[in-house]
Amino acid sequence: MEKINDKLLNWATVLEPTTRDQAVQTSRMPFIYPHLALMPDAHLGMGATVGSVIPTLGAVIPAAVGVDIGCGMIAVRTQFTASQLPPDRAPVRRAIEAAVPLSAGVQNKDITREHTAVRITDLEQLAQKSGFDPASHLRRWRLQLGTLGSGNHFIEISLDEQDRVWLFLHSGSRGVGNKIAQHHIKVAQKLCTKWWIPLPHRDLAYLVEGTDEFRSYIDQLRWAQHFALLNREEMMDRVVTCFADWVGAAVQEADRINCHHNYTEVERHFGKRVWVSRKGAINAESGRPGLIPGSMGTASYVVVGKGDPLSLNSSPHGAGRSFSRSRARKTFTHEQLREAMVGIEYRDTDAFIDEIPQAYKDIDQVMADAADLVQVQHTLRQIVNVKGD
């Protein structure tokens, strides 16, 4: 761990100068307490650094959570081992692609599954209790429950160190969460302008606890976080069904872990109640299970938190990008992507060049940097990968 200044501690051994500068800038906001914790996967983000843990007193920065509110991971360990799987993996990949709508802006055609309707009712009741209508942000939000999205979101079938089969996926609050985040980021910016509050960057605009704007954001943030959690549960139920049909037997779940890595919660650290915004970080309090994925062709990890107080009980959320998407597409080729994905069943398209493993930090280095933050329980290697364009 490196102490960059009194308000910024860093666990990343690989840290771009621009990323460091951005984290320093955020750490100097007057309400940071006790300090900002920079995770091993840190890279440049909107306003605040992706891979940072930002504790605040009496205020929240909507952009410090990001626009994919509640984004995170879910994993299920099945009773199956590699030797029990059919040799042809293409059918299960295609089945998952048919069951879970992929890519940005895509939605379900209608609501036909009972478990989907139950989750939608849960979300409707929570929205009513919070006093807002999610349709004011995105009319079709109900049809997006159970959809993946694009970018680094994925669904995978993986094997652990004992060749046991895991089902693993990554997604968040989809279009409705994005709209909620964008709305409140703009509200914060307008208020800071109205109150003549100087900001080092406009995306560090904040909302003050006790105001109507703050309460509205927190209520809608919590709703979007719950949507994201249920979205992952919904997709996992569909993936389990596809997998069971492929192997010809029902799935018995040995473990199920569901965790956010873009979210805000009230916690107590160093004697004070603070709002902790984890932007690309997971809760790693002592004994808490968590998930840290690599890229689409590298290892992922099932971990348990060590409860390191200086990290604010946090750990990295993944490998972290080392190339921007545009730079990756200019640097790498379709053939290099194919080489990186040897042995993995995936949809072979150049649409995924910007997701090539070489565009990310070395996950082994990230996990080495996180040795004081989490204990690795299982190391996963994917055999099937599903992504949206």
The catalytic residue positions are 317
Helix residue ranges, H only, 131-211: 174-194
* Residue 225 amino acid letter: Q
Instruction: Find, among 171, 145, 173, the residue nearest to 75 by Cα.
Output: 171
Residue 102 burial by Cβ neighbours in a 10 Å radius (0-12, 13-18, 19+): buried
CA-only gyration radius of the chain, Å: 20
Tell me if 94 sits within 8 A of 239, measured CB to CB. Answer: no
135 three-class SS: helix
* CB-neighbour burial class of residue 107 (10 A; exposed 0-12, middle 13-18, buried 19+): middle
For residue 40, which of 266, 267, 307, 374 has the smallest C-alpha distance? 374
Cα dist. 208→61, 218, 221, 222, 268 in Å?
9, 11, 15, 17, 19
Three-state SS for 340-372 is HCCCCECCCCHHHHHHCHHHECCHHHHHHHCCC
Max CA separation in the chain (angstroms): 65
Q: What is the dihedral of CA 40, 358, 385, 166, to 10 degrees?
A: -40
3-state DSSP assignment of residue 41: strand
